[in-house]
Chain A
Amino acid sequence: MIKEFIKGIWKENPILVIMLGLCPALAVSTSAMNGVGMSLAFAFVLICSNIVIASIKKIIPGEIRIPAYIIVISTFVTIIDYSLKAYAPALSSSLGIFVPLIVVNCIVMGRAETFASKNGIMASLFDALGMSIGFTIVITLLASIRELLGNGTIFGYAVMPQNYQPFLIMVLPPGAFLVIGFLMALHKKLSRK
Chain B
Amino acid sequence: MVSNETGIFLLFLSAMIVNNIVLMRFIALCSFFGISNNMEASVGMGMSVIFVMVMSSTVSWLIYHFILIPFNLTYLRTAAFILTIATFVQLTEMFIKKTSPGLYRALGIYLPLIVVNCAVLAAAFYCIDYNLSFIRSIVYAVGIAAGYCFALVLFAGIREKIDIAPIPKAFQGYPIAFITASLMSLAFLGFKGLFGL
Contacts and interface: CB of A to CB of B under 8 A. Distances in A.
Interface in B40-72: none
Contact of B175 (A23, A104, A181): A181
B2 interface: no
A105 B83 contact: no
Nearest to A172: B189
B34 A174 contact: no
B134 to A, nearest CB: 21
Contacts of A91: none
B118 interface: yes
Contact of A178 (B129, B179, B189): B179
B25 to A, nearest CB: 7
B35 interface: no
27 contacts: A19-B174, A22-B33, A23-B27, A23-B28, A23-B29, A26-B29, A67-B86, A70-B79, A70-B86, A81-B78, A97-B125, A100-B78, A103-B78, A105-B118, A106-B116, A174-B186, A176-B26, A177-B179, A178-B178, A181-B174, A181-B175, A181-B178, A184-B174, A184-B175, A185-B168, A185-B170, A185-B175
Contacts of A27: 25-27
A188 interface: yes
Given A22-B33, A181-B179, A181-B182, A173 B170 contact: no
Closest 4 CB pairs of A and B: A181-B178, A177-B182, A27-B26, A185-B175
B181 A177 contact: yes
Contact of A97 (B24, B86, B129): B129
Interface string A168-193: 01001111111011101110110010
A182 to B, nearest CB: 7
A82 B79 CA distance: 14
Interface residues of A, number: 41
Interface stretch (A48-56, A71-79, A125-133, A152-160): A71-79
A172 B190 CA distance: 12
Nearest to B186: A174
B185 interface: yes
Contacts of B181: 177, 181
Interface in A88-135: 97, 100-101, 103-106, 109
Interface string B72-106: 00011111001100100000000000000000000
A34 B79 CA distance: 25
Given A181-B176, A185-B171, A23 B182 contact: no
Given A22-B29, A78-B75, A104 B189 contact: no
B79 A177 contact: no
B110 interface: no
Contacts of A106: 30, 116
A184 B13 CA distance: 33
Nearest to B179: A181
A111 B79 CA distance: 19
